[in-house]
Structure 1
Amino acid sequence: MSRLDPSIEPNGSGLRRIEVITGTGGRRRWSEDEKALAVEESLAPDAVVSQVARRHGATPQQLFTWRREARRRAEAEGAPAFVPAIAENGAAVRTPASLAPKSEVAAPVVEIEIGEAHVWVWRDADIGMATAILRALRTQPGPK
């Protein structure tokens, strides 16, 4: 009988090692919340993707895939991209429309002044974003 033969030897002289697989096996599944948490951690300014992935029991490749999927979902949903704005006291810099080429500037439908802040709203503006901006301006303290 060959040593490569998987059958049990009749004389019982050889011991064989077997592997017992328990559990359901297969791949690890992460919930959407777990993925979102890992993606959020990996986007922190000083985060190291491989360390974040290791903490969550994933590989860096998986984490990069989750980040790419999250970015695509956000783009598909049309999520507004907000940039942090800092209100400072002082004169606002206004760029006159006359300085810009006419083909690039469409006349705003309405100009709103709240204190010293000026907001121009165009015809194709997202109403939700415009509302959020106006509410934020209304809650800001006036100049001192």
Structure 2
Amino acid sequence: MEIYASGHRRWPDEAKAQAVAETLQPGMTVNDVATRFGIQPNQLSAWRRMAKDGKLVLPADEGAGDEAVFAPLVVCDAGSPAPEAESSAVGRDIRLAVCEVVIQLDADTPAGRIAEIVRALGARA
């Protein structure tokens, strides 16, 4: 956290994400977490909105371990015919869509990063 001469503080995204993640734990409230972090509850609520809007990626759930994260896959016609029997996915992108949010990722995006994004999008659904 950076503190400026005016007294304003700038929180790194990792700290914001950690605070938001703590509010999602059973039994935790925004007020409890805000007090622990020394911030106003409305500031923490704003960070929660950022996470719901996909502007803040939450850390992986420590309790989840190395379990796989699954999301429903919807295959739809993109308006053009599929390429003929392509033997590899090289050059293909990954497209995640939840409600009005659409995220396009490179085909070589690590599975852990995809899981983080899916988890963040899940908070929105």
TM > 0.5 fold call:
no
TM-score by length of 1: 0.37
Which structure has more relative contact order (CA 8 Å, sep 6+)? It is: 2
Larger radius of gyration: 1
Name the structure where strand makes up a greater proportion of residues: 2
